Amino acid sequence: MRTVTVVGASLAGLYAARELRAQGFDGRLVIVGEEQHRPYDRPPLSKDFLSGKASESDLALSDDEETLELGAEWMFGVRARGLDARGRTVLLDNGRTVSTDGLVIATGARARRLPGPQLPGVHTLRTLDEARALRADLHRGTRRVVVIGGGFIGAETASSCAAMGHDVTVVEAAPLPLLGQLGPEMAAVCARLHERGGVRLVTGTGVAAIEGGTRVTGVRLTDGRLFPADVVVVGIGATPTTEWLAGSTLAVHDGVLCDDGCVTSLPQVVAVGDVARVGGVRAEHWTSATAQPRVAVRNLLAGHTVEHVRPLPYFWSDQYGSRLQFAGRREQGDVPRIVEGSTEEGGFLAVYERDARTTAVLALDRPRPFTRLRRELARADAQSTTMPSAPASAATPEPTPAPAPAPASAAPAAVAV
Amino acid sequence: MIPVCRLEELPEGESVRVDVEPPIAVFHTDGELYAIDDTCTHQDASLSEGFLEGCLVECPLHEASFDLRTGVPTCLPARRPVRTHRVTVDDGMIHVHRSEKENAAA
Ligand code: FES
């Protein structure tokens, strides 16, 4: 392989580039990034960056020295707009093309928006540019903020806004925020954090309309209520960035379909991070984006799938001065049990159980015992999954299930772990 | 010289956070005492709450691992070392001698 192109210059793309060099690829390395910025870390955008505690330089994922060491050709502010059928030519929106022997797809996902015109004052929060715009709006004095969506981005944004002294309302369509991730018992516990932070939580109702003229003035709910707003943050999830693959032969179905080793239906094309549906699962987790590249690159350089990646799902969230951490493969019906602390105050550690087996662990301000349990879970999980992979369609329930079963694509013929 | 606690209050395999500015983490592992800056160089996490394995401590947030002897991270996402500090035990009392300088390995 003489040239490898990485499309996407965020966390997963950067980690893939690092892995290529670390695993001995010394050919031409091209990295294409849609944003104008060098790779930066997104999780702080809804927290310290918004509040002003962290600056843009604090977000950098890499420094000059490392950038130099990578010896890559970087293209920033350039969007890939097509891939040929063989997966050998990447078309760019600046009119250029890149001929490549290997391809890493790391184009991530875009914040979902509400339909209709985007009024000034209505924000999404996923990129640095979006965070800059929201931050500017929030530093203009005390605001009435309505956050649509009580997921992690929504909760963290609400928490940051409240800490800045704004008047904040969170609107969640489901009966409870994080219901899908945590189950009803623990979602109810975590919902109380909003209250504790002085934020109004409105659940079980959708948004009928964003009201306003030259600027947003309020949010109308489906139950008829109107919440006046100077700033609205829409945190209703993200859509994988795959439009540019429309003309290729790659299978796309809420993400680029890959086998358990991040390899697509073309052996010299791998996908990592938020855009990749790996073995039937697309996980928008920081830890997936950092764990997948090593395996993806190994398989890319080997020319076929020689290793699988199935990290134990792990995510965390900082909100209202507390740190929430979750790890494991929780299924519906798993029963949570508090093993340390209390849900009333001061944090707790909870395990989810099924048939006397621990399936997942959740902690609020209990980092140390959480880490211990997470490692135990990961170890047990690795043991139970070192068998030959199931086809991509045999997915277990996960954070972002496909709207319909994903077709089994490119199930690896041979497996060694 | 910062007093930490009595030696018997920090059994093998345990760590303690010293609330100075910046905070320092003291570990008792493999029969030795080690002190490093408590705040991970990646983001805001307390290494005294990390997972201790031999001379390595794993950050509780994103699993960067630091060598307690040198402060150098052994894996991403941390790239910069934490400072290490000298530890002594005087009459059963653990003390940390804070080093002001950045690590040479930086
Ligand atoms: S904060 Fe320690 S690894 Fe990220």
The pLDDT tens digits for A274-306 are 999 999 999 999 989 999 999 999 999 999 999
Question: Min CA distance, B49 vs chain A (Å)?
Answer: 5
- Total number of domains constituting chain A: 3
Residues of A in CB contact (< 8 Å) with B are 15, 18, 41, 43-44, 48, 61-63, 66, 286-287, 290, 316, 367-368, 370-372, 375
Task: Return the pLDDT at B102.
Answer: 61
Task: Return the pLDDT at B103.
Answer: 54
By Cβ distance, the residue of A15, A287, A375 closest to B51 is A375
Residue ranges, chain B, pLDDT below 50: 104-106
- Asked if residue A30 has pLDDT above 50, the reply is yes
A39 close to A10: Cβ distance less than 8 angstroms: yes
DSSP A409: -
- Total number of domains constituting chain B: 1
Residue finishing a domain among A258, A278, A302: A302
CB contact under 8 A, A371 and B77: no
Structural domain contains residue A254: yes
Of A185-189, A264-268, A388-392, the least confident: A388-392
- Asked if residue A357 has pLDDT above 90, the reply is yes
Question: What CATH number is associated with residue B80?
Answer: 2.102.10.10
By Cβ distance, the residue of B49, B76, B77 closest to A368 is B49
Question: Min CA distance, B91 vs chain A (Å)?
Answer: 30
Structural domain contains residue A345: yes
* Residues A199-235 as b or e (16 or more Cβ within 10 Å = b): bbbbbeeebeebbbeeebbbbebeeeeebebbbbbbb
A403 close to A251: Cβ distance less than 8 angstroms: no
Residue finishing a domain among A182, A216, A237: A237
Structural domain contains residue B80: yes
Task: Return the pLDDT at A389.
Answer: 43
Structural domain contains residue B102: no
Structural domain contains residue B103: no
To the nearest 10 degrees (0 to 180), the angle between helices A286-302 and A11-22 is 40
Complex ipTM: 0.75
* CA-based nearest residue in chain A for residue B59: A371
B103 close to B71: Cβ distance less than 8 angstroms: yes
**Mean pLDDT, to the nearest integer, of A315-331?**
94
> Can you give the residue range of the structural domain that contains A354?
314-383
Q: How far is CA A83 from the centre of its chain?
A: 24
- Asked if residue A392 has pLDDT above 50, the reply is no
Total-model pTM? 0.86
Question: Min CA distance, B10 vs chain A (Å)?
Answer: 16
C-alpha to C-alpha distances, A332 to A170, A183, A353, A394, A396, nearest whole angstrom: 25, 7, 11, 17, 11
- Asked if residue A90 has pLDDT above 90, the reply is yes
* CA-based nearest residue in chain B for residue A65: B79
Structural domain contains residue A50: no
Q: A–B: how many Cβ contacts below 8 A?
A: 34
Q: For residue range A133-161, list pLDDT tens digits in order.
A: 999 999 999 999 999 999 999 999 999 99
Taking the CA atoms of residue A138, residue A144, residue A233 and residue A52 in that order, the dihedral angle to the nearest 10 degrees is 20
Question: What CATH number is associated with residue A30?
Answer: 3.50.50.60
Residues with CB under 6 A from ligand 1: B 40, 42-43, 45, 59, 61-62, 64, 77-78
Question: Among residues of chain A, what percentage have pLDDT more than 90?
Answer: 84
Cα–Cα distance, A241 to A10 (Å, whole number): 13
Q: Residues A230, A127: one domain?
A: yes
By Cβ distance, the residue of B44, B51, B76 closest to A371 is B51
Task: Kindly indicate the confidence band of residue A310, based on its pLDDT and cuts at 50, 70 and 90.
Answer: confident
- Asked if residue A400 has pLDDT above 60, the reply is no
Structural domain contains residue A226: yes
- Asked if residue A221 has pLDDT above 60, the reply is yes
> Can you give the residue range of the structural domain that contains B40?
2-97
